[in-house]
Chain A
């Protein structure tokens, strides 16, 4: 049983690498990824589960890393935006001007990438349901929708 207060070692699988980190039991996954591993792609914005800027993948599913404790992530495969390498969604975001300031982009990319993997033929309704968990203040969402639709397989 881990002490509730003391820092201790955690072992995380992040972007295909096995990493050992020191963390407090109360630290969120977002905090540990950024502050301990230097993976600053996942962004803090509301830290309350409302905006999706901190989205990462846990075993392939999008999770808001501000709502997950780092200790809970042990034994799972974590992917952050730094782990996306030349994926179609990244290119599609660039081609479709799907970001301006880019602060929401990592979170959107993770969510979109997972959707393309899990539901490659997702309907508009499914896409909408998935992507509603992320906020963007700069764009109109039209560009993000287009970027997503361009990587989903046409049915």
Chain B
């Protein structure tokens, strides 16, 4: 039997298209009737718009329309309605879209955009989260008090300030915790904003058909989300908006929100609904569209002499930039997971989101958990040092176990948490921890290792849901249709593997439909939060059960026996007691024809759905609640070779051990984890959004914003522990984001050990390390 399903490294279904240039991304649709749009963006971080003069721009031949914020007086946003697709009255960040020009070609639109004259009156800027907090700081939003809150009980703005969100998590008796603490450490951290840099810049096309049907084609992780928001804010019936998402050239969370789609829609509306294409330049993608949040954190941890954690206090201030988007939600997620995967019975966490005059933010791989993890895991290393304890030992001693509770009082069990101790144990061997954290190599060089643990649950809406449809073809192969978008990690292939396993059928006989079309595809919440294989996978399993039931019903008629006596496998329905008595599914999948010529049945269509059970919003005063169904946990380490003379370093090895529950596609899983690690090393070592004193972005290009390049990658060591989660398809856990989470912290821990200085503010460039050492008098 040629059954291929889970646990096998089959290449991605769309592989051949991707190596021949045939894979079509959203920008690849080139049609002569398309008009092209270009955005006019703010050159100030904070300024009043005194006037916009379009006269010169309209003189360019081929300009069809220019839209400014005044023609679209709406405020929108997923959590609080504080954002206008095109700025009105004032601009709040450098790069903010002010107008959009529609022309016959991109060159025309761009030329005209350069001639739009905006007169500004610059205002003082809020240039850091610390400044945002000061009582006398300028206010980014004067109207905070009157903004509509979309999800009451999840966001707590403080009108008259720049504070947009304040989340409190309280557990145990903090007073008692401090009394029991024999060693206390306290430290502050500052982490910059950064960019997603999906290689395909954000882009969308919009058109409005004569019957009013709106069609949006977007490079998005959330087509159903776009449908929801475009219909909501432009007062259209949900079904009047169709959103299509082809293959997406990377997302990393940056394509979960609705941004350029609004602007493309406005552009199309201005030209009578003609199709308009809007593609951001790399610079616009880095400054106009949302980026990753910044964080200012203070953490105080107390422990007994034996290392047992007793108390923790956390202040996390997230720099969400000029608008909320999902910034307030990320603060909640960080607060809910503030303790890391450690048992901490007495804790207080205050997590804030503050407005600044920086680019606004949205989800970033791990929902920005890498930032809070950095602060926590650096503090754990400081605690280990103060205790004179091995850093890995300290982590193991405090590792959460089934029976413990999370900061928001979710009781942990093997299913919703997994086995962190096993990960730590494996990591220790994998990275040869016992050879020593710091080894002098002579010649001014030092080798050092640092470690960090990770955990993350998703922040899903309590009613997030997914569905799946299976259709059989005449040749007995199947088409699987789901609402998840293929953004790179190979989810569609994994879903085919889940289906193949359930039907015990060759995965090559399962076709997956790559494009998502909200008018034809079954629903999926959003392709985010590492939840695709979990949620859609469960829907696929449900659809497979439905499919099998139908096959057996008609199989029973053909084989003249009750359905209960039958099994499905290898493309057949057969008698359990004698597999040689069977009927091929292709004989019955589209109706069965008796030898006499008459027929029964019809095409078999399997359908299934899944909705997230048992999620509970967090209590506003204690944080009690449940944001996501389960955590995935893991342990990571980085080894560096550090040059004490010039503070340069080489990242030698990076290791991850993750509890994956069940690895669906080993090579794919390894690749996704390494990809996350690579991003984490980039953020830890070089990536940062740099703002001038006036709040203008200084490095909005790949020439000045550096990513890791080939050859700078260390040796990667990746292993998995498999503690099944009974609620995940075949026991799997969502791990697609998690590779990034502990890596910046592990890198900083390694470098801090190497340089014998506290390196608490990434990116850790040689210059930053030199400065920290100088500060420490070394």
Contact = CB atoms under 8 A, between A and B. Distances in A.
B710 A128 contact: yes
A109 interface: yes
B452 interface: no
Contacts of A26: 107
A138 B670 CA distance: 12
A135 B19 contact: no
Interface stretch (B244-252, B432-440, B755-763): B244-252
A33 B197 CA distance: 24
A136 B21 contact: no
Contact of A102 (B488, B672, B707): B488
A47 B713 CA distance: 25
A44 B25 CA distance: 11
Given A43-B199, A50-B702, A51-B199, A132 B709 contact: yes
A4 interface: no
A81 B667 CA distance: 25
Given A45-B199, A45-B201, A139-B671, A102 B713 contact: no
Interface in B241-268: 247-252
Given A43-B199, A97-B667, A140 B677 contact: yes
Contacts of A131: 710-711
Interface string B699-720: 0011100011111110010000
Interface in A49-108: 49-51, 53, 80-82, 84, 90-91, 93-95, 97, 99-106
Contacts of A100: 250, 488-490, 671-672, 675
B686 interface: no
Contact of B199 (A49, A103, A142): A103
Nearest to B29: A40
B30 A142 contact: no
A64 B711 CA distance: 20
B541 to A, nearest CB: 25
A51 to B, nearest CB: 6
B710 A82 contact: no
A134 B675 CA distance: 16
B678 interface: yes
B701 A46 contact: yes
Interface string B12-26: 101111111111110
Most buried by B among A46, A103, A136: A103
B667 A137 contact: no
B198 interface: yes
Interface in B183-211: 197-201
B706 to A, nearest CB: 10
A46 B710 contact: no
B19 A105 contact: yes
A2 to B, nearest CB: 17
A134 B709 CA distance: 8
Interface in B143-162: none
A35 B34 CA distance: 11
A99 to B, nearest CB: 6
A137 B107 contact: no
A24 B281 CA distance: 20
Contacts of A103: 25, 198-200, 249-250
A119 to B, nearest CB: 16
A140 B671 contact: yes
A99 B675 CA distance: 10
Contact of A48 (B9, B22, B250, B703): B703
A50 B199 contact: no
Contacts of A80: 21
A143 interface: yes
B697 to A, nearest CB: 15
Most buried by A among B249, B281, B489, B670: B249
B30 A35 contact: yes
Most buried by A among B24, B200, B710: B710
A139 B678 contact: yes
B282 A46 contact: yes
Contacts of B22: 41, 82
B330 interface: no
B633 to A, nearest CB: 21
Contacts of B247: 101-102
A29 B21 CA distance: 17
B21 A132 contact: no
Looking at chain A's contact residues, the main secondary structure is loop
A140 B199 contact: no
A39 interface: yes
Contact of B675 (A44, A84, A140): A140
Most buried by A among B28, B197, B199: B199
Contacts of B678: 139-141
A144 interface: yes
Interface in B16-70: 16-25, 27-28, 30
A19 to B, nearest CB: 15
Contacts of A84: 19-21
B668 interface: yes
A138 B488 contact: yes
B602 interface: no
B31 to A, nearest CB: 10
Contact of B11 (A40, A48, A97): A97
Contacts of B713: 140-142, 145
Given A53-B199, A140-B716, A128 B11 contact: no
Contacts of B702: 46, 48, 50-51, 135
Contacts of B199: 43, 45, 51, 53, 101, 103-104, 135-138
A34 interface: yes
B707 A106 contact: no
Interface in B687-734: 701-703, 707-713, 716
Contacts of A42: 21
Contacts of A50: 282, 701-703
Contacts of B708: 141
Given A41-B20, A97-B11, A144-B710, 12 more contacts: A48-B701, A51-B702, A82-B22, A94-B11, A101-B199, A105-B18, A134-B710, A135-B709, A137-B679, A138-B199, A140-B713, A140-B716
7 shortest A-B CB distances, which residue pairs? A41-B21, A103-B249, A101-B488, A100-B488, A102-B18, A140-B674, A81-B21
9 contacts: A40-B27, A44-B27, A46-B701, A47-B282, A101-B487, A103-B249, A103-B250, A132-B711, A142-B713
Interface of A: 24, 26, 34-35, 38-51, 53, 80-82, 84, 90-91, 93-95, 97, 99-106, 109, 128, 131-132, 134-145
